[in-house]
Amino acid sequence: MREIYLDNAATTRTLPAACETAAKVMLQDFGNPSSLHHKGFEAEQYIRDTRKAIAASIKCTEDEIVFTSGGTESNNMALFGAAEARKRNGKHIITTRIEHASVYQPILRLEELGYEVTFLPVDAYGHVSAEELTKALRDDTIVVSVMAVNNEIGAIEPIAELAALVHARNPKAVFHTDAIQAYGKIPMFPSRMGVDLMSVSGHKLHAPKGSGFLYVKKGLAIRPLIYGGGQEKDRRSGTENVPAIAGLGEAVRYWFADAAEYRERMYRSKELFLKGVSMVPGAVVNGVPNDLRETAPHIASVSFAGVRAEVLLHALAEKGIYTSSGSACSSNHPAISGTLKAIGVADNLLDSTLRFSFDENTSEEEIAETVSALAELVPVLGKFRRS
């Protein structure tokens, strides 16, 4: 049975070149990058090459990149690190109602530690308004965290506008963005956008799992989460995961050689899918304004009235079609999506929603086959819905 993978927002297939390079590092160039001999220098060169590729992709300097184990660590490092370094200036944090768990949970922990948190509402398309942020900003605000692209509905936030507001109102406050679903999918240039901290995960862009980085604006002080040997200029101790970092470098070079073309391919897939799925009885597309380009190219959220998401998910999987009912990271603690509630999705649709996410290789045939499967399954499964 042929497989159709439409869960790329959860993870992507690792690039073959990334696998080959990671294997080469593990088997041949396996030195510790801190070692002062040839094998160490070989390993260190992979780190330098990847740092250079990432810096070029976001138009920053190489020393502004800190390698991490992925998006969750990057978000935790940004939030705890920035808050702890600024607690003498205040203990007020601002974020949104639609953040990923790797932002939301650390902020709840900071709240337990005595910080005060303001959660900004969003509109029906998942957008944070400048007016709401302006009302929330205070003299004691020290951290503002707004995701660049929502992981469930693909909403693109006005990051540059929001960052400018923060810095104009309170120059001492730090602006962080979770760019895990944004990096490579939309242009992200943190220094030009006024972003102080930006989190990225490698496995959303064909790099190995366990790879990622945090952009830290030059001169910005954050407290490290991990202490030890002083790697990454004392910002993240521990021997670097050179195989994963080397694989990340391969993925970054691959993607950004043709990023504009890949975005166009994904937008075409999304447009074709939404056009087809809108004809399925009971289907409701979530969070998409009239202009599709106001959303990320790779994420589509659709509710199917009268059908439980979990049931439809398994029915599609039996046909070899893989999608998700929301964030993969939240599947360990299933609950009604805070994002869907925040944008005003009807109560009867909250547990009837699937996320479909594409990559640059998703074909028209795969889209057509998925739409056909939905058109077949949804009416049948709706008949067996328990009240």
User: What are the tens digits of pLDDT across the range 342-362?
Assistant: 999 999 999 999 999 999 999
Q: Can you tell me which residue has the tokens 């962080």? A: 176
* pLDDT grade for 212, boundaries at 50, 70 and 90: very high
In angstroms, what CA-CA distances link 318 with 309, 315, 321, 330?
A: 14, 5, 7, 23
CATH number for the domain including 169? 3.40.640.10
Is residue 247 located within the same domain as residue 269? Answer: no
CA 346 to CA 76: how far, in whole Å? 32
Is residue 92 located within the same domain as residue 39? Answer: yes
Strand partners, 321: 4
Taking only the tens place, the pLDDT of each residue in 24-66 is 999 999 998 888 898 888 999 999 999 999 999 999 999 999 9
Retrieve residue 168's tokens: 């104009």
Strand partners, 213: 67, 200
Is residue 249 located within the same domain as residue 297? Answer: no
Retrieve residue 240's tokens: 């670097």
pLDDT higher than 50, residue 185: yes
Strand partners, 93: 117, 143
- Final residue in a domain of this structure, among 257, 283, 303: 257
- The average pLDDT across 73-85 equals 97
Q: Which residues are part of the catalytic machinery? A: 329
pLDDT higher than 60, residue 387: no
pLDDT higher than 70, residue 111: yes
pLDDT greater at residue 380 or residue 365:
365
For 311-336, the DSSP string reads HHHHHHHHTTEE-BSS-GGGTTS---
Taking only the tens place, the pLDDT of each residue in 258-314 is 999 999 999 999 999 999 999 999 999 999 998 999 999 999 999 999 999 999 999
**Predicted local confidence at residue 384, as pLDDT:** 65
Strand order of the β-sheet with 65-68 is 65-68, 212-216, 197-201, 174-178, 141-145, 92-96, 116-120
Strand partners, 283: 304
Q: List Cβ neighbours of 233 (8 Å cut-off, separation of 6 or more).
A: 63, 66
CATH number for the domain including 305? 3.90.1150.10
- Final residue in a domain of this structure, among 222, 257, 292: 257
**Predicted local confidence at residue 262, as pLDDT:** 98
Tally of domains within the chain: 2
pLDDT greater at residue 332 or residue 90:
90
> Helices (H) and strands (E) in the chain — how many of each?
12, 12
Is residue 237 located within the same domain as residue 298? Answer: no
- Is residue 120 within 8 A of residue 144, CB to CB? The reply is no
- Final residue in a domain of this structure, among 241, 257, 273: 257
DSSP one-letter code for 148: S
pLDDT higher than 80, residue 383: no
User: Does 169 fall in a domain?
Assistant: yes
The one-letter code for the residue type at 33 is P
Is residue 362 located within the same domain as residue 376? Answer: yes
Is residue 148 located within the same domain as residue 267? Answer: no
pLDDT higher than 90, residue 339: yes
User: Does 387 fall in a domain?
Assistant: no
Taking only the tens place, the pLDDT of each residue in 151-180 is 999 999 999 999 999 999 999 999 999 999
Taking only the tens place, the pLDDT of each residue in 116-131 is 999 999 999 999 999 9
Residue range(s) defining the domain that contains residue 50 = 16-257
User: Does 374 fall in a domain?
Assistant: yes
Nearest to 133 by CA among 79, 172, 96: 96
- The average pLDDT across 335-348 equals 88
In three-state secondary structure terms, 153 is: coil
Nearest to 110 by CA among 122, 121, 99: 99
**Predicted local confidence at residue 36, as pLDDT:** 85
Average pLDDT of the residues of the chain: 94
**Predicted local confidence at residue 326, as pLDDT:** 65
**Predicted local confidence at residue 148, as pLDDT:** 98
**Predicted local confidence at residue 39, as pLDDT:** 83
Strand 4-5 and strand 283-286: the pairing is unpaired
**Predicted local confidence at residue 282, as pLDDT:** 93
